[in-house]
């Protein structure tokens, strides 16, 4: 049994980026915890934080994850506070839960909260002696990762793939909990868009559907 921590900036990123893989970890009997740092709503005129947090609870239940922490950092404004504040929130969860594997955002997403989440995770995961986190993986988030400019220093280059063929339909069903976040195709954050990306990631490595990750660090002992 592994302890897995998912750290996302907004409620829905956990499903978009790593939903199929979470379902796989849960099925394998791994202990999964999800930490969502931001409220995902304050940047909107009609933002409803309570509703979004309810959706996150429902989505976590559907994933089979009981352990969900919802912080309320202001949406699209993580740069309005000291990075240290974000780091401390992550450090607290890591020191209590002691995960071996951490999944988080690609550090060069277009979204500023995603960028700073990555920066805070890497800072919180300084590999000091006896540190619990052995493996850090970043995921891609449709309508942020691929919307960044595609220069070589920014682009998401996956090197680890999870076969999620068994879970793709469930992933999309769970994402529908966040109905306000879904758009119509050809917007990337649509049911079709999610399936197409999973299909593309799958065909890169011979699976029907996959989620792709970038391995940031793997410490083997
Ligand atoms: Zn996000």
User: What number is the average pLDDT over the span 191-217?
Assistant: 98
Answer yes or no: is pLDDT of 209 > 90. yes
What is the Å distance from ligand 1's center to 112 Cα? 9
What is the Å distance from ligand 1's center to 16 Cα? 9
pLDDT digits (tens, 9 = 90+) for 55-102: 999 999 999 999 999 999 999 999 999 999 999 999 999 999 999 999
Domain that holds residue 45: 3-218
C-alpha angle with apex 95: 77 to 122, nearest 5 degrees? 45
What is the Å distance from ligand 1's center to 93 Cα? 20
**Res 45: pLDDT:** 87
What is the Å distance from ligand 1's center to 133 Cα? 23
- The answer to whether the beta carbons of residues 195 and 20 sit under 8 Å apart is no
Q: Note if the pTM is more than 0.85.
A: yes
What is the Å distance from ligand 1's center to 12 Cα? 7
Give residues with Cβ within 8 angstroms of 25, minimum separation 6.
Answer: 2, 4, 32
Sheet with 135-139, strands from edge to edge, namely 67-73, 31-38, 3-8, 101-105, 135-139, 210-218, 160-163
Supply the mean pLDDT for the chain: 97
pLDDT digits (tens, 9 = 90+) for 114-130: 999 999 999 999 999 99
pLDDT digits (tens, 9 = 90+) for 8-54: 999 999 999 999 999 999 999 999 999 999 999 999 988 999 999 99
Answer yes or no: is pLDDT of 221 > 90. no
**What is the CATH number for 35?**
3.40.50.10320
Answer yes or no: is pLDDT of 104 > 90. yes
**Res 123: pLDDT:** 98
What is the count of structural domains for the chain? 1
Cis check: omega of the bond before 186, within 30 degrees of 0: yes
């Amino acid at each position: 049994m592994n302890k897995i921590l998912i750290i996302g900036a907004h409620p829905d990123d956990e499903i978009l980026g790593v939903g199929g893989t979470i379902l796989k970890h849960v099925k394998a009997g791994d202990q999964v915890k999800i930490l969502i740092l931001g409220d995902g709503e304050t940047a909107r005129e009609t933002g409803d934080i309570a509703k979004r947090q309810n959706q996150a609870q429902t989505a976590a239940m559907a994933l089979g994850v009981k352990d969900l922490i919802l912080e309320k950092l202001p949406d699209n404004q993580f740069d309005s506070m000291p990075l240290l504040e974000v780091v401390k929130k992550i450090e607290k969860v890591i020191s209590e839960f002691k995960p071996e594997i951490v999944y988080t955002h690609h550090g060069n997403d277009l979204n500023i909260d995603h960028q700073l989440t990555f920066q805070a995770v890497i800072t919180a995961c300084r590999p000091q002696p006896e540190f619990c986190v052995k493996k850090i993986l970043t995921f891609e988030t449709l309508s942020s990762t691929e919307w960044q400019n595609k220069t070589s220093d920014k682009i998401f280059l996956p090197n680890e793939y999870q076969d999620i063929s068994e879970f793709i339909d469930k992933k999309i069903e769970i994402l529908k909990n966040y109905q306000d976040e879904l758009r119509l195709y050809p917007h990337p954050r649509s049911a079709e868009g999610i399936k197409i990306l999973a299909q593309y990631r799958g065909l890169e490595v011979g699976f029907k559907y996959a989620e792709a990750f970038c391995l940031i660090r793997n410490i083997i002992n």
